[in-house]
């Protein structure tokens, strides 16, 4: 290039902003920010290292997110190409609590046929024949699945209809639990004959032994430090009926019991559903579709899984000893869990091991695809399920879930809930290990069964109710004390039961910010929600009451009173002196008076003393007549015998 050309190029470069400068140099002062044409290797290295660190951190975050699969497809298991070998791990120890390890609880889900010889009278003759009964023993479901989707919302008032006595039909009256004893083949006729007058039964105890026993009991009373023995036939204290007759007014005596409850925590309520794995064993040969339906798979899921497995596991029958591992996770469209992954293991008798046969996993598109086996574990002897506190359903929904799993019809489930709804807060979450026992007759030709017994265990308390038919053919359920589960006062007397916002007891007032006694419970609900009378009674107050706003007070029998505050409006046609029945509409939820939002303030008084409406012991609404006590005791003994018997050789199902 000629000098003239170089000059022209230089002029063009200067015109565009370029100019002659010194060359780049690395002679920058250490620790100082480089200027002009200087380069700093320290600054350059720091920039590169910062970029690499950011890439590694972001990659690790993405890896952890996908590994946790909170929103990523469950087909991750199916798409993995390789898995490192892992040592089998034992089931999680329930005693170990941490943020990573969830407790695992043993579950029970037995539906059995039991047979007993019963005695009945036919054409004036006593006959003995075998009778089959259905017995269910199960732990309450610790997670809600599609089995309980679509159940009616919990409504304490609607439960009243499910607890009414039943007018027995001819088929219901034929139910017989008169257990005879030893099993018989076919029917046996019993013939009664007069006992010979010469027959003298042997003495079970001599007069001398009886006298010595009485003498020792008396001496122990006078000379020992132990307290005097209580006679078996002596009542330990007055019953509710005795208290009701204590005086002419019929009011209850004594001091009402009241239990202070710990303040509510919202941690569990705010937690979102998490994952849980269920491990179950097929005890009897069963169809795959039947087992899946009983464990929360919908019809569409069952069809999709059977289609996916047809090439690797074509059999639709699961042999006895088959193990299933089902991983549940939250649904994006409902508040229940759905199956994310299901693995099948069959037992190899030769090696006495459980061999993985197939795994299906759910994709983001809602399809089940084949996947690799999950990490190996040592299968426990009993069926187990991970307990995730966020997954625990309410008692109400758990009973629905468990009942539908065992093919109980909806009417039976509703009655079971109604029988315990007055003693149990159905909106409270269950605890691991809570259980239910049910005895009923096998389905007839029309598929109907007669409920005979229900036992509900929540925590350390077991409540039992037995079926009993009186002389007028009326069927009801009574506890061992001869009382029905129905209380004469409803603890949550509004549609849907409301949401508990504030308990009974001392608290910081939400408006005045001072510590005051909260005289009732606050049940939040939408404005206009119907409010009902908690029990039969007479209206004593029906107007504005300062901080309570629109308030109603009802006087019931035996010194009980109930109050209803902050109503938006009353029901037309009612006033002071009017008699109302339990479940009758009296007003609507509002926020009148000193209130921070729409809710019902509900309170109970006993003999003028305020008590906690949710925990105070309330008398039963119905008590078995005294003339039936002997017959009812016999019925209880017969049902208890049936509940303790070994199942028949062939079980219906255990899964």
Least confident of 244-248, 390-394, 548-552: 244-248
Reply yes or no on whether the pLDDT at 59 is more than 70: yes
Contact 483, 624 (CB under 8 A): yes
439 and 503 in a single domain? The answer is no
Task: Report if residue 232 sits inside a domain.
Answer: no
d(CA 144, CA 274): 12
**CATH code of 545's domain:** 2.70.70.10
Give me the pLDDT at residue 254, please: 41
276 and 379 housed in the same domain: yes
pTM of the model: 0.61
Task: Give the residue with greater pLDDT, 301 vs 77.
Answer: 301
Confidence bin at 405 (pLDDT 50/70/90): very high
Residue 549, φ and ψ in degrees, nearest 5: 65, -145
pLDDT of residue 105: 75
Same domain, 512 and 571: yes
| Chain CA centroid to CA 550, Å | 36
- Classify residue 221: in a domain, yes or no: no
Same domain, 372 and 400: no
Q: Taking residues 273-301, what's their average pLDDT?
A: 90
Q: Are residues 547 and 577 in the same domain?
A: yes
Query: Is 271 a residue whose pLDDT tops 60?
Result: no
Tens-digit pLDDT profile for residues 123-173: 667 778 788 889 999 999 988 898 988 888 887 667 766 666 676 666 666
Instruction: Say if residue 421 is in the same domain as residue 336.
Output: no
Q: Which of 74-78, 230-234, 333-337 has the weakest average pLDDT?
A: 230-234
Choice among 45-49, 91-95, 523-527, 593-597 with the minimum mean pLDDT: 91-95
The answer to the question of residue 547 being in a domain is yes
- Under DSSP, is residue 85 helix (H, G, I), strand (E, B) or coil? coil
Q: Is residue 637, in this structure, part of any structural domain at all?
A: no
Q: Is the pLDDT confidence value at 76 over 60?
A: no
Which residues form the domain of 365?
A: 272-391
The domain boundary residue, chosen from 13, 38, 68: 68
Residue 9: pLDDT over 90: no
Please tell me the distance from the alpha carbon of residue 564 to that of residue 534, in angstroms, as a whole number: 10
Number of structural domains, the chain? 4
Residue 470 shares a structural domain with residue 402: yes
| pLDDT of amino acid 357 | 92
Between 9-23, 86-100, 109-123, 159-173, the lowest mean confidence (pLDDT) is in 86-100
Question: What percentage of residues in the chain have a pLDDT greater than 70?
Answer: 71
Q: In 3D, which of 551, 534, 493 has the Cα closest to residue 156?
A: 493
Residue 477 exposed, middle or buried by CB count within 10 Å (0-12, 13-18, 19+): buried
Say if 206 falls within a structural domain: no
Under 8 Å between Cβ of 175 and 642: no
* Res 591 pLDDT > 80: yes
Nearest-angstrom CA–CA distance, 476 and 482:
11
* Confidence bin at 395 (pLDDT 50/70/90): very high
Tell me the pLDDT of the chain averaged across its residues: 77
**Position with higher pLDDT, 79 vs 437:** 437
Same domain, 588 and 545: yes
In a domain, 241, yes or no: no
At 498-507, the pLDDT tens digits run: 888 888 888 8
Last residue of a domain, one of 391, 417, 437: 391
Domain of 130, CATH number, reads 3.10.450.350
- The SS3 of residue 272 is coil
pLDDT tens digits for 196-246? 777 776 666 666 666 666 665 555 444 444 443 333 333 334 443 344 444
Q: Are residues 278 and 367 in the same domain?
A: yes
The span from the CA of 438 to the CA of 403, in Å, is 10
Please report the pLDDT score of residue 171 as a whole number: 64
| Residue of higher predicted confidence among 82 and 185 | 185
| 73 falls within a domain | no
Question: Is 2 found in the same domain as 44?
Answer: yes
Mean pLDDT, rounded, for 63-89: 44
User: 453 and 511: one domain?
Assistant: no
Residue range 462-492, pLDDT digits in tens? 999 999 988 888 888 899 988 887 777 888 8
User: Residue 99 — pLDDT band, cuts 50, 70, 90?
Assistant: very low
* Residue 410 vs residues 103, 155, 457, 473, 513: alpha-carbon distances, Å: 32, 15, 21, 24, 47
172 vs 527, higher pLDDT? 527
Q: Do both 424 and 373 map to the same domain?
A: no
- pLDDT category at 82 given cuts 50, 70, 90 is very low
Instruction: Identify the pLDDT of residue 596.
Output: 86
Per-residue pLDDT of 597-655, as tens digits, reads 999 999 999 888 899 888 887 776 677 888 888 999 999 999 999 998 887 664 444 45
Q: In this structure, are residues 116 and 95 in contact, taking their beta carbons and an 8 Å threshold?
A: no
Q: Is residue 316 part of a domain?
A: yes
């Amino acid at each position: 290039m000629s000098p003239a050309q170089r000059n022209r190029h230089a002029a063009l470069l200067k015109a565009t902003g370029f100019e002659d400068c010194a060359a780049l140099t690395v002679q920058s002062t250490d620790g100082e920010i480089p200027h002009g044409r200087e380069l700093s290797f320290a600054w350059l290295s720091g920039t590169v290292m910062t970029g690499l660190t950011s890439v590694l951190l972001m990659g690790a975050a993405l890896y952890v997110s996908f590994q946790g699969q909170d929103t990523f497809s469950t087909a991750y298991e199916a798409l993995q190409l390789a898995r490192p070998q892992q040592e089998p791990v034992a089931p999680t120890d329930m005693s170990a609590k941490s943020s990573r390890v969830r407790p695992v609880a043993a579950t029970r889900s037995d539906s059995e046929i039991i047979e007993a010889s019963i005695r009945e009278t036919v054409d004036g003759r006593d006959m003995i024949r075998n009778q089959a009964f259905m017995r269910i023993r199960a732990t309450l479901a610790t997670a809600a699945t599609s089995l309980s989707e679509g159940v009616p919302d919990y409504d304490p008032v609607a439960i009243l209809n499910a607890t009414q006595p039943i007018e027995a039909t001819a088929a219901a009256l034929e139910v017989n639990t008169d257990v005879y004893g030893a099993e018989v083949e076919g029917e046996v006729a019993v013939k009664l004959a007069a006992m010979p007058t010469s027959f003298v039964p042997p003495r079970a105890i001599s007069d001398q032994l009886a006298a010595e026993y009485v003498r020792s009991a008396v001496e122990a009373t006078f000379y020992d430090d132990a307290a005097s023995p209580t006679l078996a036939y002596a009542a330990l204290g007055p019953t509710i009926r005795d208290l009701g007759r204590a005086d002419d007014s019929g009011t209850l005596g004594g001091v009402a019991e009241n239990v202070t409850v710990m303040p509510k925590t919202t941690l569990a309520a705010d937690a979102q559903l998490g994952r849980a794995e269920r491990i179950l064993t097929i005890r009897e040969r069963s169809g795959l579709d039947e087992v899946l339906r009983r464990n929360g798979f919908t019809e569409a899921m069952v069809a999709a899984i059977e289609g996916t497995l047809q090439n690797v596991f074509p059999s639709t029958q699961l042999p006895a000893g088959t193990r299933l591992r089902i991983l549940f996770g939250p649904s994006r469209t409902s508040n229940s869990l759905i199956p994310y992954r299901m693995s099948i293991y069959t037992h190899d008798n030769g090696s006495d091991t459980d061999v993985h046969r197939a795994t299906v996993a759910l994709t983001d598109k809602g399809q089940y695809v084949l996947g690799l086996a999950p990490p190996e574990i040592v299968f426990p002897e009993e069926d187990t399920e991970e307990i995730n506190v966020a997954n625990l359903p309410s008692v109400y929904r758990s009973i629905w879930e468990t009942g539908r799993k065992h093919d109980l019809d909806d009417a039976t489930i509703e009655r079971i809930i109604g029988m315990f709804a007055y003693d149990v807060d159905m909106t409270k979450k269950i605890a691991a290990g809570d259980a239910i026992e049910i005895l009923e007759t096998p389905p007839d030709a029309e598929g109907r069964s007669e409920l005979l017994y229900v036992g509900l265990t929540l925590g350390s308390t077991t409540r039992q109710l037995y079926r009993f038919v009186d002389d007028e053919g009326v069927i009801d359920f009574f506890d061992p004390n001869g009382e029905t589960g129905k209380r004469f006062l409803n603890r949550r007397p509004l549609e849907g039961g409301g949401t508990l916002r504030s308990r009974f007891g001392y608290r910081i007032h939400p408006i005045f910010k001072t510590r005051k006694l909260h005289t009732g419970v606050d049940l939040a609900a939408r404005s206009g929600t119907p409010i009902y009378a908690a029990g039969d009674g007479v209206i004593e107050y029906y107007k504005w009451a300062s901080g309570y706003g629109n308030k109603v007070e009802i006087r019931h029998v035996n010194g009980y009173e109930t109050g209803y505050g902050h109503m938006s409006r009353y029901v037309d046609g009612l006033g002071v002196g009017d008699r109302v029945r339990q479940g009758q509409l009296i007003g609507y939820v509002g926020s009148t008076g000193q209130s921070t939002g729409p809710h019902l303030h509900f309170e109970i008084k006993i003999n003028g003393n305020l008590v906690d409406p949710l925990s105070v012991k309330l008398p039963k609404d119905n008590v078995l007549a005294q003339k039936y006590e002997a017959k009812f005791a016999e019925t209880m003994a017969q049902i208890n015998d049936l509940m303790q018997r070994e199942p028949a050789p062939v079980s219906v199902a255990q899964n």
